[in-house]
Structure 1
Amino acid sequence: MPTAASPLPLSTTGSENSSSIYDYDYLDDVTILVCKKDEVLSFGRVFLPVVYSLIFVLGLAGNLLLLVVLLCSVPRRRVIELYLLNLAASNLLFVVTMPFWAVSVAWHWVFGSFLCKVMSTLYSINFYCGIFFITCMSLDKYLEIVHAQPLHRPKTRFRNLLLIVMVWITALAISVPEMVFVQVQQTSDGVWHCYADFGGHATVWKLYLRFQQNLLGFLLPLWAMLFFYSRIGCALVRLRPPGQGRALRMAAALVIVFFLLWFPYNLTVFLHSLLDLHVFGNCEVSHRLDYMMQVTESLAFFHCCFTPALYAFSSRRFRQYLKAFLSMVLRWHQAPGTAHAPPSSHSESSRVTAQEDVVSMNDLGERQADDSLNKGEMGNN
């Protein structure tokens, strides 16, 4: 669940603002830092619901459009489009949880114990799925361009479908702690919260989960993307295909956007871990890290809004299908009787796409794989 949206159990001291004083962290049942959080909580009650609502609106609209175009307008989906389809579905499930966290931060958890576990599990599963599918798409482009792997072989398609299933299973396995420990609890002042209660070993569990998030949610995917796209860049420089410059800029943009969205948040998570270990820090540092956590986490959540569009529009083929889909919708609104005319538009857009120059990595990968397959058939003949 969102870190900022799930505060630790609140402690009471009998003061007027007791709901704003809570144990920051624990180390084997020994409190290591107790800080008053009035300003932090007040900032979060205003900032987070606004950001979560914006993420919900943008993410729902963008990913729903992507999902509809891929399901309705693409006659035969390639592997990269299967990954996009799963990425869009994962992002939709992720943004569906945002209104629940917005209400929880602005007020308190009013949705009951069952939805607490469901929303927390959905959040965790699709948090990792979104990152994993981005990594899978970079692997797919690497295999197509660098190794000129054929796109349409049944064995290749089965392997990628198996990889998609493994991504969902892995994300589900990572989310097991959310299913086990997350629950609704009532504080002494009658406020309900949905959070993970690890009992007397909260610090150990939180350090483990933060390390897992830094490693699986950032470091390994970033390393994989740097490796795959650097090899793709070397192949583009060596082959010098048409549109080489655009493809190189797109590869750089994909890595840079991933880094800019996720590095600040993961750095803040790492600093929080050092604070939990009492390596450094006081209440002032704790306050600053809490502000940083809310801002950087919100920035990272925007990946579900920007990343699918970036990957989708890197393909000229997808842009052609999007134009055909939008023109079909416009015709349907203008003259509902002509709504059954899109197949010719789809086939026309496919012919136009096939005749255009290679200007993106997706198009280059398809051309590379098809050329390799054709050469193999000519050799056999």
Structure 2
Amino acid sequence: MWLINLSDPLELQDQVPPLGMAATASPLPPTTKVATSENSSSFYDYEYYLDQVAFMLCRKDEVMSFGRVFLPVFYSLIFVLGLGGNLLLLVVLLRYVPQRRMTEIYLLNLAISNLLFVVTLPFWGISVAWHWVFGSFLCKMVSTLYTINFYSGIFFISCMSLDKYLEIVCAWPHHRLRTRAKSLLLAASVWAVALAVSIPDMIFVRMHENPLGVWNCYADFGGHGTIWKLFLRFQQNLLGFLLPFLAMIFFYSRIGSVLVRLKPPGQGRALRITIALVVAFFVLWFPYNLTFFLHSLLDLQVFGDCRVSQHLDYALQVTESIAFLHCGFAPVLYTFSSRRFRQHLKVFLATVLRRHQAPHLAQAPLSSCSESSRLTTQEEITGMNDLGERQAEDIPNKGDVGKIQPERPDHGP
């Protein structure tokens, strides 16, 4: 996680993020001081820039003051939204969906990932406003937890787009990749990859005291700081945005083409949801990854001066906070795209509201929900349950696909 040493407007360490978490307060350019053992992983390699005194004297008092106020407030907002939305999603899935199918398994893992992610934000918020006061163990654990769930949340969103592609475009409700066992295996693989990506945090992240009595939590790669910084940034740009976004473009564009060609009932709503999923991912994540990439170019001396560096510092703080809103928005978008889940959510809310007023009224929705849970219909992003059957009729040469009978549809919008 990028953290600023807020106690000194001239002395900035490049605290390499636990994964690539952009600046909780973006690092400042170096000072005229030569790198010590504590800041050998500086955002700008001090020795590399010793001949650029003017740039190295760049002060960022205003950037740090802005970060001390903006980041803790925004992190608190994201924490509240993400905690509430994902807890609600988790409760509904665990209580009302006993027989979870593929998309619901991915939704469950996405909710867990988002919850673990937002739990780390109060630690970083306090660290920015003050300094790291939680000790060495939590420094390493919180950093690793952040990295794991940063990636796993994005990966599970990609898994959901793949699942809808197999269901709608391939028209194979019982495709060999859409079994419960395969979905659990894919979910386990996502967690394994996210864990592997967090290994640098497990190894290199530790507490550093600078100045005396002020502690910061960041990764120190020693004399290889610049190489590691560039590697982790480009890794984040690639795995955390570019590849998932290209996958979503491919899967949802194919889904959209099927909707336009077959013109099923509810086509307009289905297309709007499809576009919304892609646009939301792009709007939340592209500005942050672009700013992160520009910081890498600045580090490579492709362009930039002190003023550019200051602007990028502001941009990185703002775009990072916007990107983190995905923890609250993702559950809303991906759960309300399913008619079946909306039914479960209505049952849950009705049960909560009526429990104290008329307990007997709450039993009817529960019964309805139990019946809905036994239905074998596919979860629908399109709101149409006959879409797989109609698509299958267009591809009769795909083995036994045409023999698959459509599942019983849900009732109601």
TM-score normalised by the chain length of structure 1: 0.88
Instruction: Identify the residue that residue 89 of structure 1 maps to in structure 2.
Output: 112
Matched, 1:156 2:175: no
Query: When the two structures are aligned, how many residues end up with a matched partner?
Result: 368
Distance across 1 between alignment mates of 2:26 and 2:293: 18
| CA displacement at 1:107 relative to structure 2 | 0.3
Is the 2:81–2:328 contact (alpha carbons within 8 Å) kept by the matching residues of 1?
yes
Distance across 1 between alignment mates of 2:354 and 2:171: 40
Counterparts of residues 42-191 of structure 1 (less than 5 Å)? 42-151=65-174, 156-191=179-214
Instruction: Identify the residue that residue 368 of structure 1 maps to in structure 2.
Output: 388
Label 1:330 to 1:86 Cα distance change in 2 as closer, same or farther (>3 A). same
Q: Cα RMSD (Å) of the superposition? A: 3.0
Aligned residue type for 1:298: S
Counterparts of residues 217-366 of structure 1 (less than 5 Å)? 217-335=240-358, 343-347=366-370, 361=381, 363-364=383-384
> 2:289 aligns to what SS in structure 1?
helix
Label 1:330 to 1:298 Cα distance change in 2 as closer, same or farther (>3 A). same
| CA displacement at 1:351 relative to structure 2 | 9.2
Distance across 2 between alignment mates of 1:12 and 1:190: 21
Aligned residue type for 1:263: F
> 1:279 aligns to what SS in structure 2?
coil
> 1:334 aligns to what SS in structure 2?
coil
Aligned residue type for 2:140: K
Q: Judge which range, 361-370 or 287-296, deviates more.
A: 361-370
Is the 1:151–1:366 contact (alpha carbons within 8 Å) kept by the matching residues of 2?
no
Instruction: Identify the residue that residue 64 of structure 2 maps to in structure 1.
Output: 41
Is the 2:27–2:313 contact (alpha carbons within 8 Å) kept by the matching residues of 1?
no
Sequence identity, in percent? 65
Is the 2:110–2:153 contact (alpha carbons within 8 Å) kept by the matching residues of 1?
yes
Which runs of 5 or more residues in structure 1 are unaligned?
15-21
Is the 2:264–2:387 contact (alpha carbons within 8 Å) kept by the matching residues of 1?
no
Instruction: Identify the residue that residue 22 of structure 2 maps to in structure 1.
Output: 3
Label 1:359 to 1:163 Cα distance change in 2 as closer, same or farther (>3 A). closer
| CA displacement at 1:330 relative to structure 2 | 1.7
| CA displacement at 1:368 relative to structure 2 | 1.6
Which runs of 5 or more residues in structure 2 are unaligned?
2-20, 34-40, 393-399, 406-413
Once the two structures are superposed, residues 37-71 of structure 1 have per-residue CA deviations (whole angstroms, 9 ceiling, x without a partner) of: 21111100000000000000000000000000000
| CA displacement at 1:214 relative to structure 2 | 0.5
Once the two structures are superposed, residues 178-215 of structure 1 have per-residue CA deviations (whole angstroms, 9 ceiling, x without a partner) of: 11111100003321000111112221111100100011
Instruction: Identify the residue that residue 17 of structure 1 maps to in structure 2.
Output: none
Q: Judge which range, 189-198 or 331-340, deviates more.
A: 331-340
Q: Counting helix residues as a fraction of each chain, which structure ranks higher?
A: 1
Label 1:7 to 1:110 Cα distance change in 2 as closer, same or farther (>3 A). farther
Q: Judge which range, 126-135 or 239-248, deviates more.
A: 239-248
